[in-house]
Amino acid sequence: MRKPRDFDAELKALEDKAKELKNRKVQQLGELVIATGADQLSTDELAGALVAIAEMKDAAKREAWAKRGVAFFDSGSRRTHPTPKRNLRRAPAQPGGPQASASGDGSQ
């Protein structure tokens, strides 16, 4: 007879992996905010902009924003300037994820 599977251990491992993926997602979202220069916005401005985007129903406008996002990642250039007072140490970027960098002027 085969040894029975330890379902509890497998579920725990899956929960740990899900937690790690959620943490990585949060980190990458923060890196994206910094790379785009959106960290120069106040918390209220950034939250308001994100709510407006999430509520947007205009497919053409969403497609235009998506194209602009693709161009941002394809350009390889990020708005950067030195920020000596910030802790710029970051975990290595995940393959295919945004590259962490200092923020720019944040103008749109």
- pLDDT at residue number 78: 57
Nearest-angstrom CA–CA distance, 26 and 29: 5
Give the residue, 70 or 91, on which the prediction is more confident. 70
Q: What is the model's pLDDT at position 107?
A: 44
The DSSP-derived string for 40-93 is GS-HHHHHHHHHHHHH---HHHHHHHHHHHHHHHHH--------TTS----PPP
* Residue 92: pLDDT over 80: no
